[in-house]
Amino acid sequence: MVKTKQLFAGLALMTFGLGTAQADYTLNLMEGVTSISRDVYGLHMLVFWVCVVIGIAVFGTMFYSIYFHRKSRGHKASLFHESTKIEIIWTIIPTVILILLAIPATKVMLEMDDTKDSDMSIKVTGWQWKWEYEYLDSGVRFFSSLDEASNKARQLNSGIDPRTVPNYLLEVDKPLVVPINTKIRFLFTAADVIHSWWVPDLGWKKDTIPGYINEAWTSVDKPGTYRGQCTELCGRDHGFMPIVVIAMEKPDYEAWVVEQKQQAVANASAADKEWSAEDLIAKGESVYTNNCASCHMADGAGLAGTFPAITGSALVTGDMDAQVDLMLNGKGMMPAFGQMLDPVDFAAVSTFIRNGLGNSVGDSIQPATIKALQGAIPATEYDDDDD
pLDDT at residue 151 is higher than 90: no
What pLDDT score does 81 carry?
Answer: 75
pLDDT digit string, tens, across residues 72-91: 888 887 777 778 888 898 89
Per cent of the chain over pLDDT 70 is 90
pLDDT averaged over every residue in the chain: 87
- Please report the pLDDT score of residue 2 as a whole number: 55
More confident residue, 344 or 332: 344
pLDDT of residue 386: 44
pLDDT tens, position by position, 260-271 = 999 989 988 888
352: left (phi over 0), alpha (psi -120 to 50) or beta: alpha
C-alpha pair distances (Å), 382 with each of 30, 210, 261, 342: 33, 11, 21, 20
Domain ranges for the chain = 31-112, 120-264, 273-374
Residue with more model confidence, 3 or 313: 313
pLDDT value, residue 37: 94
**Matching CATH topology for 31-112 and 273-374?**
no
pLDDT higher for 384 or 189? 189
What is the gyration radius of the CA atoms in the chain, in angstroms? 28
Rounded to 10°, the helix 84-112/35-68 angle is 160
Residue 142 is predicted with a pLDDT of: 93
Predicted local distance difference test score (pLDDT) of residue 378: 58
Q: Is pLDDT above 60 for 21?
A: no
Tens of pLDDT, residue by residue over 90-104, are 899 999 999 999 999
Report how far residue 114's alpha carbon sits from residue 363's, in angstroms, rounded to the nearest whole number.
55
**Domain 31-112: which CATH class?**
mainly alpha
Mind listing the pLDDT tens digit for each residue in 343-376?
A: 999 999 999 999 988 889 899 899 999 888 887 6
CATH fourth-level superfamily of 120-264: Cupredoxins -  blue copper proteins (2.60.40.420)
**273-374 homologous superfamily:** Cytochrome c-like domain (1.10.760.10)
Q: What is the pLDDT of residue 209?
A: 96
User: Do residues 128 and 237 touch, judged by C-beta distance below 8 A?
Assistant: yes
pLDDT at position 148 is 86
Q: How far apart are CA 99 and CA 96, in angstroms?
A: 5
Quick check: 16 pLDDT over 80?
no
Stretch 192-210: mean pLDDT, rounded? Answer: 94
Say whether pLDDT at 23 is over 50.
Answer: no
Phi, psi of 114 (to 5 degrees): -85, 90
29-77: pLDDT as tens digits: 888 899 999 999 999 999 999 999 999 999 999 999 888 888 888 888 7
pLDDT digits (tens, 9 = 90+) for 216-259: 999 999 999 999 999 999 888 899 999 999 999 999 999 999 99
Query: Edge to edge, what strands does the sheet with 242-248 contain?
Result: 176-179, 242-248, 224-230, 195-199, 204-208
Distance, in Å, from the CA atom of 29 to the CA atom of 207, rounded to the nearest integer, reads 20
Q: What is the 3-state secondary structure (H, E, C) of 120-138?
A: EEEEEEEECCEEEEEECCC
Q: pLDDT-derived band of residue 307, with 50, 70 and 90 as boundaries?
A: confident
Q: State the pLDDT confidence band at 7, using cuts at 50, 70 and 90.
A: low
DSSP state letter for 238: G
